[in-house]
Chain A
Amino acid sequence: MAKRNLVEAINSGLIVEMERDSRVVVLGEDVGKEGGVFRVTDGLQVKFGLNRVFDTPLAESGIIGVSIGMAVKGLRPVAEIQFEGFLHLSMNQIMNHAARIRNRSRGRFTCPLVIRSPWGGGIHAPEHHSDSPEALFAHTPGLKVVIPSTPYDAKGLIISAIRDPDPVLFFEPKRLYRAIREEVPDGEYTVPIGKAKLVREGKDVTAITWGAMVREVLRAAEAADKEGVKVEVIDLRSISPMDDETFLESVRKTGRAVVVHEAPPTCGVGAEVIARINEKALFSLQGPVVRVTGFDTIVPLTKLESHYLPSPERILAGIRKVMTF
């Protein structure tokens, strides 16, 4: 057991799976010699050789397209897209092919592919490097979407993603890459895809969130404590499939909910969370569910970024709003 940050935890998960399963290959821009721009694949090429860890030409659609061919032919590719803003260049391959091959061939062919991509804001990055496009992908049938918020979960989820028989989009909150260190076992273990985690217990209001916002919500929850409001915090971890039972159970208990995410609110994943609360726990609610999110704007560059991203203060304001209805 060693203390690891998110980068080291994912790296450890990749090593575990590459040692266990010779079908696992890693490809993408700068993942080989450089070890990835965030160093998530650091040391893998030296350890596993040029045949299993390779740099590709700079072409996102190409990376996903060839990964699909590899996956269907029996490998277990883990493709890196360097930043989430560049995923859009491979959208056709992800939505039109990877997510549909099982259905299109009625199960004759499958596409066990993992797409890793840094995700979210908070690191003062250029344009296209701070987005949270999870809703776009969660809206795609046949694709799974996960977003870990801790090193332990990150390792367990990357291992589950590699073992999953279907394509998984694995988003890595770049703001947390080196922000948290915790005990992460050296060997193999899994965290199931499709299972949310109760991060903090509370009786007054349920906060549902994921990714880098988990930490911000926990900070807001501590502040709320001082005001006598006990916040229960749920880390969704899997955006698709979504574990609604965990947050529904909590909402049935607290009667109030706030959803917190970085992405724009309109048609965001928060909207889906609220729809499910309305469908299945409406009569437990004592007031409308509040969303604390980014805005329906382009994520701003550095100077305005802190205005865009929900802060503990803004989340606390949201908690107060839901409590005072």
Chain B
Amino acid sequence: MIEKFDPLKGEMLRILHPDGRFEEALDPGLNDATVQTLYRDMVVIRTADQRALTLQRQGRFGTYAPLIGQEAAQVGSAHALQKGDWVFPSFRETGVLYMMRAPLSGLFVYWMGNEAGQKVPEDVNVFPVSVPVGTHPLHAVGAAWAARLQGEKICTVAYFGDGGTSEGDFHEAMNFAGVFQTPTIFFSQNNQYAISVPRKKQTASKTLAQKAVAYGFPGIQVDGNDLFAVYAATKEARERAVSGQGPTFIEAVTYRFGPHTTADDPTKYREDAEVEEWKKLDPMLRLQKYLQGKGLWNEEIEAKIKAEAEKIVNQVVQDAEAVPPPDPREMFSFTFAELTTRLKEQMDDYLTYLKEKEK
């Protein structure tokens, strides 16, 4: 299927249209119960995302990069992954992390300013959040390569945005993956802006997906607000990866409803009218309509789902805020496996200083 949607011809995969039409021939086989679960996940994610903004405004959270509008892209892709697969996130992947069973409270602890939040449980295959844009796809390629040498039939997925495709490391990662045919999925959420710079100013390419052509592997553009299309493309990319057919690039066309981060004011660089147009394509609305058509959604059900999501997120906040501030020793202890003499000296000096200050 991926090969049938040629990004050079401007073809984009869309299964559930904004008007509710459904491309039966492309149905990736998500049953109703699964769609309901995924919709509920999306509500939890949006609730957590918006709560993070509120907490930031109240001074209880640090800088945060909201994902509102990108829920289908994150949930659809992550749902296509299987046990053993590895995810390499950027800083806007709250939804992916939730789907990978990384505790949201950990992510909240991290954004509240404590590295301990990034210590994911042993059975969660999610790399720590990578802040330097577009530089971590290389890690996904290396891990995929390692997995192949280790005889594991898994894939690795790098998540990044439209801006990330302008970085040199993006080129190097795509190139390495192509040369070594690594089981890697490059998943780009094209949310139209890298902070204030629009997608058109990142690259003269008509699509991001077509870039894959130059590296010798397929790229596909999908409607990133269509859960079914995102899931279908990622599922197939995963099958390609684990069956030795190499990497795939997926461009999920979506929109960032919110600011780049809490430190940003998007009214400076985009028109409200544009945002309103995209809001009509809200991935949640599309799924609501779909489920409603099946008699599985109405206002009453929505209220229940939202109440449940609020409860989950309340617990996340409570858990995150219950984590005591870290001991200053932690600043030193994770530089190397063992404290060097010099680090120990610095730590002891500082602790002595603290003790004397208290007197």
- Chain A residue contacts of B88, Cβ below 8 A: 69
User: How near does chain B come to A102, taking the closest CB pair, in angstroms?
Assistant: 5
Measured CB to CB, the closest approach of chain B to A138, in angstroms, equals 11
Assess whether B337 is interfacial by the CB under 8 Å rule: yes
CB-defined interface of A231-246 with B at 8 Å, one 1/0 digit per residue?
0000000000110110
Having A59-B176, A69-B144, A96-B135, one finds 9 other A-B pairs with CB under 8 Å, namely: A65-B138, A65-B142, A65-B173, A66-B173, A69-B88, A69-B138, A71-B142, A93-B169, A108-B120
* A65 and B330 form a contact (CB under 8 A): no
Contacts of A165 in B (CB 8 A): 336-337
Partner of A104, one of B128, B144, B336, B337: B128
Contact with B along A63-78 (1 / 0, CB 8 A): 0111111111111010
Verify A65–B116 contact, CB threshold 8 A: no
Q: A93 and B176 in contact (CB under 8 A), knowing A70-B145, A107-B119, A107-B334?
A: no
Q: Which residues on B sit within 8 Å (CB–CB) of A93?
A: 135, 138, 169
Residues of A within 8 A of B139 (CB): 65-66, 68-69, 72, 97
Q: Beyond A106-B119, A108-B119, A242-B342, is A57–B337 a contact (Cβ under 8 Å)?
A: no
Interface residues of B, count at CB 8 A:
42
Binding stretch for chain A, among B21-29, B146-154, B193-201: B146-154
A108, B175: Cβ atoms closer than 8 Å: no
Known: A69-B139, A69-B143. A142 touches B128 (CB 8 A): no
Q: Does B132 contact A (CB under 8 A)?
A: yes
Is A61 located at the chain interface by the 8 A CB criterion? yes
Is there a chain B Cβ closer than 8 Å to A62's Cβ? Answer: yes
Residue B140 lies at the interface, judged by CB distance under 8 Å to chain A? yes
Contact digits for A217-260, partner B, Cβ 8 Å, 1 yes 0 no: 00000000000000000000000011011000000000000000
Interface size on A, residues (CB 8 A): 45
Per-residue contact bits, chain A 112-144, to B (CB 8 Å; 1 contact, 0 not): 000000000000000000000000000001101
A-chain residues with CB within 8 Å of residue B145 when the two chains form the complex:
66, 69-70
- Sample 9 A-B pairs with CB under 8 A, ordered by A number: A57-B179, A61-B135, A65-B136, A65-B169, A66-B139, A68-B142, A69-B143, A73-B143, A97-B135
* Closest 6 A/B residue pairs (Cβ): A69-B142, A65-B138, A62-B172, A66-B142, A73-B146, A69-B139
Q: How far is the CB of B267 from chain A (nearest CB, A)?
A: 32
CA distance A97 to B142 in the complex (A): 13
